[in-house]
């Protein structure tokens, strides 16, 4: 920062435990008086003695390192402060806020020029693999990080490495060291006075060493997905091919979550894949408590898709009922633009709608197909899906074809403002929006439906019970017939 802003009248300083008490006092005084324009710091900036002259922008880097209470304290430094949160792997709770539209969200997909993906491999603990990896890196004049997150046995690991890998200069670094000594070791390693740095996760963030292009993580099963991604990000910061070796017990001895974490980090090794890893993390750990302090959890009992759907429905319900006036203008705009008035259409039927076990034998595969089909929004997507299904599993059975037609029916019904469809006993019941004040009842979509009812009095019947309105249409015995009928209303 100081280097880049050297030509501007801007004063930059930093605050951390490494500064002396005298220096900290001086910085706090200048901060209060407004003499420092940009202050960079650790958790020390949350201290009660911190006072800003006129704080305008808060940037939280490596957001996954902060708890909810710390982040809220930072935001309370000043009301309505602009906040930019930066991270390679957002924690589940933060990602959930973005996915539900509560926070703006952007991703950087373009890597710096001449960067290569880090080759990631999962191994059982093997000294020979470590030895080979270290010797190869040193032979091309590079350096190696070895992460051992237990300070209790870090020096035993150092002795093992000195025994097995000859003529290699090794240094040890961890958070319980004297800050000055730790800083000196990192500086010496940066100056290539050591070949291998054996350290705890202290190297996880804030270290940029382009010459280090191999990292070995011991007991990788004990790390979270974001931790592993951050550690892997310490290498591959130059135009050389980089390697990441994750040492763990045999996969069959690990818990399901541990296996999924290691498989995810191995599979998503492309540049810019942090968002995919974060999505996997959200799926494995859950989104936590959006209104509380837990940053992960709970979702596993429910399933991510179900949770997301319930959350979206709850937000929509609040918009329509509790905060009607706030969103009245938005609803009016929808009416003017002829947009959809409902978010989703539920279909209940006594017809057989499914992909039979004989057609897709694998349960997980079948569920994945159902999920994919449920998210289809255009005719092109449905046609592509049908083609892929036939290519993989053969001719689609009658029950499967009817299920695919249901998705078409839902899409057509959505634009007519229909919330629910009953397709039972040879007739179709369309349930309309229950809010009688909705702009939908002043739209052309509703006019089309009324016109159809008036021109087909023998087959159609409009019912009203309290606030609920429905249309019963007789002689609709198949999904195909239902689609044709909805199309004729359009």
Among 122, 209, 136, which residue's Cα sits nearest to residue 171? 209
Using an 8 Å Cβ cutoff, are 217 and 223 in contact? yes
Site of tokens 């930059």: 12
> Has residue 470 been placed in a domain?
yes
What Å distances lie between residue 273 and 15, 121, 239, CA to CA?
Answer: 32, 16, 18
pLDDT at 357 over 90: no
> Has residue 395 been placed in a domain?
yes
For the ranges 69-78, 252-261, 328-337, 351-360, the lowest mean pLDDT is seen at 328-337
Q: What is the CA radius of gyration of the chain?
A: 30
49/32 Cα distance (integer angstroms): 10
pLDDT at 151 over 80: yes
**Same domain as 417, residue 356:** yes
106/134 Cα distance (integer angstroms): 37
> Has residue 175 been placed in a domain?
yes
Average pLDDT over the chain, rounded to an integer: 81
The CATH number covering residue 432 comes to 3.90.1150.50
**Same domain as 261, residue 132:** yes
> How do residues 410-435 score in pLDDT, each as one tens digit?
888 887 888 888 888 888 888 888 77
Tokens in use for 482?
């239902």
**Same domain as 189, residue 70:** no
For the ranges 3-12, 293-302, 357-366, 381-390, the lowest mean pLDDT is seen at 293-302
> Has residue 305 been placed in a domain?
no
β-partners of residue 38 are 12
Range of the domain at 455: 324-489
For the ranges 108-117, 222-231, 383-392, the lowest mean pLDDT is seen at 108-117
Helix residue spans in 50-116 (DSSP H):
68-75, 92-99
> Has residue 331 been placed in a domain?
yes
**Same domain as 267, residue 214:** yes
The CATH number covering residue 20 comes to 3.40.50.300
- Select from 271, 286, 304 the last residue of a domain: 271
pLDDT at 194 over 90: yes
What is the DSSP annotation of 335-358? HHHT--S-S--EEEESS--S--TT
> How do residues 34-43 score in pLDDT, each as one tens digit?
899 999 988 7
β-partners of residue 122 are 246
> How do residues 206-225 score in pLDDT, each as one tens digit?
677 889 999 999 999 998 87
Task: Record the pTM.
Answer: 0.54
Stretch 281-309: mean pLDDT:
55
For the ranges 97-101, 368-372, 466-470, the lowest mean pLDDT is seen at 97-101
**Same domain as 345, residue 441:** yes
> Has residue 205 been placed in a domain?
yes
Tokens in use for 311?
């959350």
**Same domain as 340, residue 478:** yes
> Has residue 299 been placed in a domain?
no
pLDDT at 159 over 80: yes
Tokens in use for 382?
């449905």
Using an 8 Å Cβ cutoff, are 277 and 225 in contact? yes
* pLDDT on residue 474: 86
What Å distances lie between residue 241 and 137, 195, 210, 349, 372, CA to CA?
Answer: 10, 17, 11, 56, 36
459/442 Cα distance (integer angstroms): 24
**Same domain as 483, residue 345:** yes
**Same domain as 190, residue 267:** yes
**Same domain as 17, residue 57:** yes
* pLDDT on residue 465: 76
pLDDT at 205 over 70: no
> Has residue 300 been placed in a domain?
no
What Å distances lie between residue 322 and 62, 97, 155, 312, 316, CA to CA?
Answer: 37, 21, 61, 15, 10
Return the SS3 of 303. Answer: coil
pLDDT at 476 over 90: no
Dihedral, 36, 41, 46, 52 alpha carbons, nearest 10: 10
Beta-carbon contacts of 479 under 8 Å, excluding residues fewer than 6 positions away, are: 349, 351, 353, 402, 405, 406, 409, 423
**Same domain as 210, residue 157:** yes
Using an 8 Å Cβ cutoff, are 485 and 475 in contact? no
Tokens in use for 181?
């000594």
* pLDDT on residue 291: 46
What is the DSSP annotation of 276-287? HHHHHHHHHH--
Residue 154's pLDDT band (cuts 50, 70, 90) = very high
**Same domain as 469, residue 338:** yes
pLDDT at 337 over 50: no
Which of 18-27, 133-142, 252-261 is predicted most confidently? 133-142
- Select from 246, 271, 296 the last residue of a domain: 271
For the ranges 62-66, 136-140, 447-451, the lowest mean pLDDT is seen at 62-66
**Same domain as 134, residue 50:** no
Using an 8 Å Cβ cutoff, are 484 and 430 in contact? no
**How many separate domains does the chain show?**
3
215/146 Cα distance (integer angstroms): 6
pLDDT at 12 over 70: yes
Return the SS3 of 134. Answer: helix
């Amino acid at each position: 920062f100081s280097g880049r802003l050297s030509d501007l009248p801007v004063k930059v300083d930093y605050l951390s435990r490494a500064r002396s008490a005298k220096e900290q006092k001086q910085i706090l005084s200048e901060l209060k008086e407004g003499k420092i324009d940009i202050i960079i710091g650790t958790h020390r900036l949350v201290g009660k003695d911190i006072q800003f002259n006129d704080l305008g922008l808060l940037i939280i880097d490596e957001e996954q390192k902060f708890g909810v209470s710390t982040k809220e304290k930072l935001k309370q430094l000043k009301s309505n402060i602009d906040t930019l949160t930066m991270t390679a792997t957002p924690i589940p709770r933060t990602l959930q806020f973005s996915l539900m539209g509560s926070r703006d969200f952007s991703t950087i997909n373009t890597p710096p020029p001449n960067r290569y993906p880090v080759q990631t491999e999962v191994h059982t603990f093997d000294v020979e693999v470590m030895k080979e990896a270290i010797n190869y890196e040193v032979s091309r004049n590079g350096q190696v990080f070895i992460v051992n997150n237990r300070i209790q046995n870090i020096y035993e690991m150092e002795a093992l490495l000195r025994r097995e890998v000859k003529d290699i200069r090794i240094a040890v670094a961890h958070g319980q060291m004297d800050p000055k000594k730790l800083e000196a070791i990192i500086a010496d390693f940066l100056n290539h006075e050591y070949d291998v740095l054996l350290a705890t996760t202290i190297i996880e963030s804030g270290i940029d060493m382009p010459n280090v292009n191999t990292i070995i993580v011991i007991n990788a099963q004990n790390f979270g997905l974001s931790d592993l991604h951050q550690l892997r990000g310490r290498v591959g910061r130059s135009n050389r091919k980089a390697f990441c070796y994750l040492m763990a017990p045999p996969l069959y001895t690990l818990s399901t979550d541990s296996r999924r974490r290691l498989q995810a980090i191995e599979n998503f090794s492309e540049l810019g894949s942090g968002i995919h890893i974060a999505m996997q993390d959200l799926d494995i750990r859950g989104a936590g408590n959006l209104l509380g302090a837990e940053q992960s959890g709970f979702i596993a009992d429910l399933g991510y898709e179900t949770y997301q759907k319930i959350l979206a429905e709850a937000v929509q319900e609040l918009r329509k009922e509790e905060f009607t006036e706030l969103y009245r203008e938005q609803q009016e705009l929808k009416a003017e633009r002829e947009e959809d008035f409902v978010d989703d259409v539920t279909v209940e039927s006594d017809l057989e709608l499914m992909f039979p076990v004989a057609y897709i034998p694998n349960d997980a595969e079948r569920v994945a197909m159902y999920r994919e089909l449920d998210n289809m929004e255009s005719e092109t997507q449905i046609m592509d899906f049908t083609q892929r299904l036939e290519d993989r599993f053969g001719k689609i059975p009658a029950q499967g074809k009817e299920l695919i037609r249901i998705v078409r029916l839902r899409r057509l019904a959505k634009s007519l403002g229909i919330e629910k469809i009953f397709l039972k006993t040879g007739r179709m019941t369309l349930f309309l929006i229950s809010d009688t004040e909705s702009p939908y009842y002043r739209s052309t979509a509703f006019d089309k439906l009324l016109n159809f009812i008036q021109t087909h009095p023998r087959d159609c019947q409009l019912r009203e019970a309290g606030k609920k309105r429905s249309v019963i249409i007789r002689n609709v015995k198949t999904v195909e017939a239902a689609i044709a009928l909805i199309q004729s209303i359009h």
